Amino acid sequence: MEIKTNRAREIQNKKIVPSPDRARHRRRTNQRMGKNHIPGRRFISVLRSLGKCSIFLMMIAFVLSIFVFTSTSDKFHLRGITFHGCRELDPKQLESIVRQESPASILRINLLQIKNRLEQETWVKGVEIRRVLPSDLVIDIQERIPSVILEMNGTLMVADRDGTLLGEYDPRFGKLDVPVFRGVLGDNAEGYRMYQEENAARIRQGLIMLTEIEAGWPEYAREISEVDIADRSNLKIMLVNDTHEIYLGEKDYLRRIRKFMNNLSEYEKLKEQYNEFASIDLRYDREIIYKLRRSDNDSLHTKTARLENSRQRNP
């Protein structure tokens, strides 16, 4: 016969609490074990830092070794230089310039410095340079194009559209179907370059005038043989079969030329009567002023005075 009591349940539900001495001993033991682990953690941290430093140093050493190798290795020494776009320029002369300005290793060449140096050459307008590893350079040259014929102290010179003087005119340039420009500053190439900015501005204005006339009246533009650009406020032209100067001012070039052509019959009558004119002034809006060449003859002086006061109205 079994007799059950509630004591067993009370024993089971009752928590066993260690004595105060034992609990204190266990806390001290855990604290001692934690203190013993601190030096180990510090050691591991130091090892990790040393490992990172060693990896960083190895990377630096690797990069330095590559730099030393590329700087000293014969494989990267500049060997071939190829030029494209040279017609007037001598590639051998340009190559000599590049080699004088370049270090031995192709990787140490300052491409911008070489580009700026080559663009100092008269015929060079633009330069593009690229490396072809391990040892070559490829250089694309954009040459200036002769576009303008200049008369300087009895010598014909050529320039591009930017006003850069290229040298004396030569048949190898082919037929330049453009008028001769007069009125630049300087008697020779050196004097011209002393006034480069002003001369370039005069040439650009002359080209603007020709472009405007050609766009509106191409046939007449081909009849212009000379352009005087000495005064930018008053450009002058001379026709192929005539000796007088036509004043066009500084604007409205096409409109003024049209005004002259509309009064061509009047001009022919005056030309038959007075032979030659010194100039025809088209700068006035509604009138054309014809001026005779000056002479020591008194009768011609009288006619000149009358003619200067006569003004042909534009219908």
- Taking only the tens place, the pLDDT of each residue in 5-20 is 555 555 555 555 555 5
DSSP string, 17-86: PPPHHHHHHHHHHHHHHHHHHHHHHHHHHHHHHHHHHHHHHHHHHHHHHHHHHHHH-GGGB--EEEEES-
What value does the mean pLDDT of the chain take?
Answer: 80
Kindly list the domain boundaries of the chain, sorted by start residue. 75-143, 148-313
pTM score: 0.68
75-143 with 148-313: one CATH topology? no
Which pLDDT band holds residue 210 (cuts at 50, 70, 90)?
very high
CATH: 3.50.50.60, 1.20.1090.10, 3.10.20.310, 2.60.40.10. Which one for 75-143? 3.10.20.310
Write the pLDDT tens digit of every residue in 278-307. Answer: 889 999 888 888 887 765 443 433 344 344
Q: How many CB atoms lie within 10 A of CB 80?
A: 11
Write the pLDDT tens digit of every residue in 93-138. Answer: 999 999 998 898 888 899 999 999 999 999 999 999 999 988 899 9
Where residue 153 falls (left for φ over 0; alpha for ψ -120 to 50; beta otherwise) is left
Domain 148-313 has CATH 3.40.50.1000: no
| Nearby residues of 162 by Cβ (< 8 Å), 6 or more positions away | 144, 200, 204
